[in-house]
Amino acid sequence: MVKLKKILTLRTIIATSAGLTLSSSTFVAAVQVAGFLVGDAAWLAILTGGLLCMTAALCFSELNGMIPSAAGIRLYFNHAFNDRLALTVSLLYMAVIMGVIGAESYILAEILHEAFPLISPLAWILVMFTVVTGMNIVGIRIAGWFQDAITYGLMVTLISLAVIGLAKIDFQLSAPLATGGAVNLLNAVAVGVFLFVGFEWVTPLAEEVTHSRLISRGMLLAIGILSVVYAVFTVAMTATVPRESLVNSPIPQMLFAQTILGDTGTAIMVMLTLAASITTFNAGLIGISRFVYASAREHVLPSIFSKISLRFFTPWVAVLSIFVIGVLISLLTLFSHRYLVLVNMAAAMESVIYVLAGLAVIVLRKKMPDAQRPYRIRGGYIIPAASALIFSLLALAIFTTFPRVFLYLGLGMLLSYWYVTRVVPRLKQLQRQKRASGRRRRRPVAHAEKQGD
């Protein structure tokens, strides 16, 4: 059986973990965070969100060490709870992450329309998807190098622009802790979690890293670096551009760049937005394609998705399928303009997943106390229990503030449950029939050989 190649290093793990979170839509979420607060406390909400996500990352580190698989989240929850719950939640989560790509494509279209009004935004989206898909089919090493270069370059540029903006206005924090109340801060932190959405989607690369511990280190370092980048850049945006203008715009980063550097800023931000969109789709394609591949390998999805290229050792059918789905979601978002719903759905779903991850650590310690754990969270149950409790409150805050998000995720859960209970059993039955048919065809051959002897 052809397997994935173990070639990824820590540098690429950090870039991949950070790449899916470092998207153009995160600038919209960052402005939403600032919009909940009355002073200059956006940095506080963002750093708090990053710290909370680190508790979830520690939970994923322990789970990944126990079960290093491309199936990732699905297997963690399967071992801790049951297969039906694991499948239902993980399939819905995969769909929501694909929705993030839709939100990303909308913001990319707005930026490109601003800079190049004569060129169709759809053309840019298709070019981006085609290039990134081609790289992923050719090989994970090439996609990884590409991810490294763009992600690290993007983070350095964002910090540089923030420093330029703050220096131009001789900025000083006037109200660094003014949040407007505990409820405002809670809502800001809840949306701030979206800034880090998808960092754990690096876990499906567990079968392609040179050492399994790199997944844990990569997630924690990615969250730490992004916390600083987001905090500094958000403070710079809200300090140089009127907050009401930022909140009402799908391209707040463009307004910021134009304010501090004029036309030069516009050109730079167009390039940055393209880079951010590409890192998001590339990282998402890398992680989700491995999840699809592993799910098909275990007959949760049609077996055709488990095919691996004999030349490049990549799951090419899964990659191409995500390309098609990504384009369709991008088109729907482009015409519906409902990008904020996708942003908030991702934040809510992320919180739900982190609750389950914390609970899974606790349950597996009781169900499988003697299982090998290359990485074990210190302090007993304190961190996984705290992670589960905190993210439960954050999910509740999002559902209360945005009831439509609760409705959409509820409908998605029902659809995912229908697939798990109706379609998956048929797929597994077909696989059993194929195996039985294969055994029957081999038996006459063996019998004939004995007669010949």
pLDDT tens profile 185-216: 877 887 787 788 778 877 777 666 777 678 88
Tell me the two tokens of residue 385. 């229990």
Question: What residue segments make up the domains of the chain, in order of their start?
Answer: 10-452
* CA-CA-CA-CA torsion sign (337, 343, 346, 351): negative
Among the ranges given (148-162, 272-286, 297-311), the one the predictor scored with the smallest mean pLDDT? 272-286
Among the ranges given (18-32, 110-124, 132-146, 317-331), the one the predictor scored with the smallest mean pLDDT? 132-146
Tell me the two tokens of residue 169. 């206005």
Domain covering 10-452 in this structure, CATH number:
1.20.1740.10
Task: Read off φ and ψ for residue 140, nearest 5 degrees.
Answer: -65, -30
Report the share of the chain in percent with pLDDT over 90. Answer: 18
Q: Contact 253/238 with Cβ under 8 angstroms?
A: no
| Tens of pLDDT, residues 305-363 | 888 877 767 788 888 888 888 788 878 877 777 777 777 788 788 889 999 999 999 99
User: What pLDDT does 68 receive?
Assistant: 80
When computed from its CA atoms, the radius of gyration of the chain, rounded to whole angstroms, is 23
* 352-379 b/e (C-beta count within 10 Å ≥ 16 → b): bbbbbbbbbbbbbbeeeeeeebebebee
User: What pLDDT does 388 receive?
Assistant: 94
Answer whether residue 300 shows pLDDT above 70: yes
Which residues, listed in sequence order, are joined to residue 8 by a DSSP beta bridge?
209
Name the more confident of 148 and 384. 384
Q: Contact 296/304 with Cβ under 8 angstroms?
A: yes
255: Cβ contacts below 8 Å, ≥ 6 apart: 241, 245, 246, 249
CA angle 120, 126, 147 (to 5 degrees): 125
What residue type is 185 in one-letter code?
A: L
User: What pLDDT does 18 receive?
Assistant: 83
Q: Contact 135/143 with Cβ under 8 angstroms?
A: yes
211: Cβ contacts below 8 Å, ≥ 6 apart: none
What residue type is 348 in one-letter code?
A: A
Name the more confident of 33 and 415. 415
Answer whether residue 85 shows pLDDT above 70: yes
Q: Contact 292/316 with Cβ under 8 angstroms?
A: no
**1: confidence class by pLDDT, cuts 50, 70, 90:** very low
Q: Contact 223/61 with Cβ under 8 angstroms?
A: no
Residue with tokens 């409820």: 183
Mean pLDDT within 106-110: 71
Q: Contact 235/31 with Cβ under 8 angstroms?
A: no
Tell me the two tokens of residue 232. 């500094």
Whole-prediction pTM: 0.77
Name the more confident of 376 and 20. 376
Nearest to 164 by CA among 25, 272, 281, 257: 257
User: What pLDDT does 361 receive?
Assistant: 95
Nearest to 41 by CA among 192, 249, 258: 192
What residue type is 345 in one-letter code?
A: M
Nearest to 375 by CA among 53, 6, 14, 64: 64
Q: Supply the mean pLDDT for the chain.
A: 81
